[in-house]
Structure 1
Amino acid sequence: MLATEDYFGHFETVYLFYGAMPTGVSVSETGRIFVCFPKWGDDVRFTVAEIVGRRLQPYPDLATNTINPLNSTMSFISVQSVFADGRGTLWVLDTAAPNFSQPIQGAAKLVAIDLKTNAIRNVYTFAEDVVLPTTYLNDVRFDFRVGKSGYAYITDSSSKGPGAIIVVNLENGNAFRRLNGANSTSPDPYFLPKVEGKILMNRNADGSTSPFRSASDGIAISPDGKLLFFCPLTSRHLYAIPTEALRDRTITDFNLQYHVQYRGEKGASDGMITDAQGNVYAGDYENDSIRKILPNGIMETVAHDPKILWPDTFSIGPDRHLFVIVNQLHRQARYHYGKDLRQKPYGLLRIKIDELPAPSF
C-alpha cells in the first residue's frame, strides 16, 4: 500500500450546524459562545445567535434580528463578525450588505451589547466616505488602552473596490479609512487560490467566470495593542502596522504605507486571532491547516486535518482552547456555476492550545 498524507491535530466538535452557514464565532470571558450567519443566500432566520446547550438562540433576541426598515440602526441586517472583548461586551459588526450588495445607506454599523443585561449599549454608524458603496465590513479588533474609550480596527474586504483598515474612535464614533487601496490591503493580483486540489474562482450560473478577489480580511492585535496584523483574503502574505501610526491622521495614506511591516508568507487565511503570548493563529484554507506564527516569526502548523474545510473565524476561550468555524465557503454555488456543493453540517471545532486570548484592556 502506498503512503498517504499525514494528518494531525486533535479537534473536539463543539457544535454542528444543519441550517444556514456560519462565518463568525466568539467566546466570552465566561465561556458563552456566540456565532453569526451573514445573509449570502441561505435561509437565515437570525444573523446572530448564542449557542445554549444544544440549541441556537437568536441574540440578543429575535426582534433585533428582524430587519426594521424604519429603524435600521437598531436591527441586524447581515452580520459578518462577532467579537467578545473580554470585559463584558459582545461587539457585532453588521455589513448591511446581504448577498454582497451595496451597503444599505446608514445601516452598516458596529454594535456593543452588554453581556450582563443582553441589551444594546452603543451603536456606531459610518459616514459615506468611510463605508463606501463597495465596502464589505469583515472583522474587528479592539484596544481599550488608548484614548478615553478605546479604538476599534475594522477590515474592509471589498471585492469590487479598495480594501482598507477602518479606524473607529469609540469615544465619539469618529471613523476614518487607512491604507485605502494600499498594496497591503488589496488582493494579490498574482495569487491563484487552490482548494481541494482545484482552482477557486467565481463561476456564475450563466457560465461566465472571473478571478476570486477579496481585500483585507483577517485581523489580529498584539497583546499590548501596539501592533495590528492583517491580511487580504486572496493572498498568502501577512502584514503588520503600529496602531499608533494608524491612529495618527497627520501621516498621509501615501506615507502610511511605509509604516507597514511585511511579515512573510503564512498561507492563505480567512480569520486570525492572537493569544496572550503574542502568537498569531491563522488558517490556511488551501491546505486544510491552522498555522501559529510566533513573535520571532517562526511558523508552526497546529493542525492539518481534512475536516478543516475552509477555516473561517477563530476565537480563544477561557478554557485555553482555540475555536474555529469550518464552513466549506469555497463550495458555495457562486464558485461552481450555480451548483451548491456544500455538505451539511458545518462545524464549530476546538483544539487545546494552553494559551489565553490576548487582552484588549
Structure 2
Amino acid sequence: MHLKHPFSWSALALTIAIGSQAAQAATPTNLPSEQNLGAIEQVFAFHDAMPTGVSVAENGRIFVNFPRWGDAVPFTVGELRDGKVVPYPDLAMNQADPKDPAKGFISVQSVVADGRGRIWILDTAAPGFSTPTPGGAKLVAVDLATNQVVKTLVFPKNVMLPSTYVNDMRFDFRVGDEGVIYITDSSLSGPGAIIVMDIASGTAIRRLSGAVSTSVDPHFVPKVEGQVLKVRGADGSTRPFSVASDGIALSADGQTLYFCPLSSRHLYAVPTALLRDPSVSETRLDMAVQDLGEKGASDGLEADAAGALYAGDYEHNSVRKRLADGQWQTIVHDPRVLWPDTLSIGPDGYLYFMANQLHRQGIFHAGKDLRQKPYSLLRVKIDAAPAPTR
C-alpha cells in the first residue's frame, strides 16, 4: 500500500498524546485547597439525637443537652461518663410531668456550670419551638456533689411571651443576695430580649425587648456550605431564617454583657449595672448598648478570664477570638466544624464546642434531612481559664 502522507502516523501519535494531556488536565488530582487552622480534637461522637449545648464544670465533668426538636430524645440532659451519655441527673427528671410542668424537663436548650459546684439547666418548655408550656419554662440547679436538684426557678409571667424561646445564660454571683442570671430570648417569631433574673427571689425583668441589638438583622442573608440558608417547605415555599438574640457572654469583671442575634453578624455589649436596674428606662438602656461591629454569624459566645471573647462562625466552619484590644483572629477553621454551636471553656485550658450540622436539618431542605451522623463535641487548646462568676 502506498502512503501519500508519510507523517500521518506521527501526527496521529502526537494528537493522541496531546489528547491524553488534555484529559489529565481536565481531571485534576492535587489542586490547592483551603488551609485548616487550629488543632481540633473530637471529644465525643453522638450517633443518636442532635445535641446543642455543652458545659464543662470546674471539676472536669462534661454535660450536654438535646432539645426536643423532632429527633427521638429519650433524655434531654446528659452527662458524658465512661465513654457514653447517661441521663442527668436521672432518667425520671428527664420526663415532663403534665400535672406539674415545673418538675420534669420538657425540652432543654442549654446547660451551664456556674463555677460554684452546680450545673444549671435551662428548660424552654417549648419542644419544636412551640408556645412555651405555661409554668414550664424554668432554670434548674443541680448540685454536682450530690447530683440532686437544689433550686428551681420558674420564669415569671411578666417576662414570658407566647413567642419566647429562652436560649442561653450566664451567671454573676458578685451582685444581689445570691447572684443574678442573664438569659437570652431567641424568639423565632416575636421580639428578642435579655431577661435578668434574681436568684434569691426568682423575680425577673425583660430588657431590650425588640431593640435593634436583640433583633434579627433585616439585611442578613446567611450562607452556609455555599448555599443561602432559608426555611424551605416541601411545597417550594421559602422564608428567611430569623432568630433573635442568642449568644451571650459575661466579661471577666462582670461589668459588661456581650450578646448577639443568631440572624446577624454583629456583636453587642451593654453595661450590666444598667441592665439590672429596673429604674433605668428602656430608652436610656438602648442608648447605652454598643455595636462592636461584625464578628461573623454566631450561635454561641464565651469569655475567658483574661478578657478575650470567643464566637462561633457558622458560615465559615470557624471559631474566632476577640482579643482584649478588640481585634479578631480565627483560631479554628476546619470543614468538619459544621455549625459550631455552644462554647464552654474547661478547667484544662480547652475550648469545647458542638458541631451539630444544625443547618442540614430537614426544615432547611424541603423536608429532607441532610445531617450525617455522628455529631461531634470538639475542643481546641486555648490555654485560658473561664471567666470567673464571683
TM-score with structure 1 setting the length: 0.99
Q: Is contact 2:53-2:110 (8 Å) kept?
A: yes
Q: CA deviation at 1:278?
A: 1.2
Residues 259-309 of structure 1 show CA distances to partners (whole Å, capped at 9, x for unaligned) of 101111100000010011011000000000100001210101001000110
Is 1:300–2:329 an aligned residue pair? yes
In proportion to residue count, which structure has more helix?
A: 2
Aligned length: 361
Residues 56-95 of structure 1 show CA distances to partners (whole Å, capped at 9, x for unaligned) of 1100000000111112211000000000011101000000
Q: CA deviation at 1:8?
A: 1.6
The equivalent of 2:286 in structure 1 is 257
Match of 1:179 among 195, 203, 208: 208
Is 1:25–2:54 an aligned residue pair? yes
3-state SS, counterpart of residue 269 of structure 1: coil
2:115 and 2:43 map into 1 onto residues whose CA distance is 20
The equivalent of 2:15 in structure 1 is none
Q: CA deviation at 1:3?
A: 2.2
Is 1:65–2:107 an aligned residue pair? no
The equivalent of 2:372 in structure 1 is 343
Q: CA deviation at 1:2?
A: 3.7
Larger Rg computed on CA atoms: 2
The equivalent of 1:104 in structure 2 is 133
- Identify which range, 204-213 or 241-250, moves more after superposition: 204-213
The equivalent of 2:4 in structure 1 is none
3-state SS, counterpart of residue 153 of structure 1: strand
The equivalent of 2:117 in structure 1 is 88
2:329 and 2:153 map into 1 onto residues whose CA distance is 38
Q: List runs of 5+ in structure 2 lacking aligned partners.
A: 1-29
Is 1:225–2:262 an aligned residue pair? no
Match of 1:155 among 184, 202, 207: 184
Q: Is contact 2:113-2:119 (8 Å) kept?
A: yes
1:46 and 1:238 map into 2 onto residues whose CA distance is 33
Q: List runs of 5+ in structure 1 lacking aligned partners.
A: none
Is 1:39–2:73 an aligned residue pair? no
3-state SS, counterpart of residue 210 of structure 2: coil
1:149 and 1:246 map into 2 onto residues whose CA distance is 17
1:192 and 1:6 map into 2 onto residues whose CA distance is 25
1:72 and 1:257 map into 2 onto residues whose CA distance is 34
Which residue identity does 1:284 align to in structure 2? D
Equivalent pairs: percent with the same residue?
60
1:253 and 1:192 map into 2 onto residues whose CA distance is 29
Is 1:117–2:149 an aligned residue pair? no
1:54 and 1:121 map into 2 onto residues whose CA distance is 27
3-state SS, counterpart of residue 218 of structure 1: strand
Is 1:273–2:335 an aligned residue pair? no
Q: CA deviation at 1:129?
A: 2.4
Match of 2:196 among 155, 167, 174: 167
The equivalent of 2:12 in structure 1 is none
Residues 162-216 of structure 1 show CA distances to partners (whole Å, capped at 9, x for unaligned) of 0000000111001010000000000000000000000001012232211100000
2:158 and 2:283 map into 1 onto residues whose CA distance is 18
Q: Is contact 2:101-2:134 (8 Å) kept?
A: no
Match of 1:319 among 348, 353, 360: 348
Match of 1:13 among 21, 33, 42: 42
The equivalent of 2:220 in structure 1 is 191
1:38 and 1:131 map into 2 onto residues whose CA distance is 19
Match of 1:56 among 85, 93, 101: 85
2:33 and 2:111 map into 1 onto residues whose CA distance is 38
Q: CA deviation at 1:254?
A: 1.9
The equivalent of 1:356 in structure 2 is 385
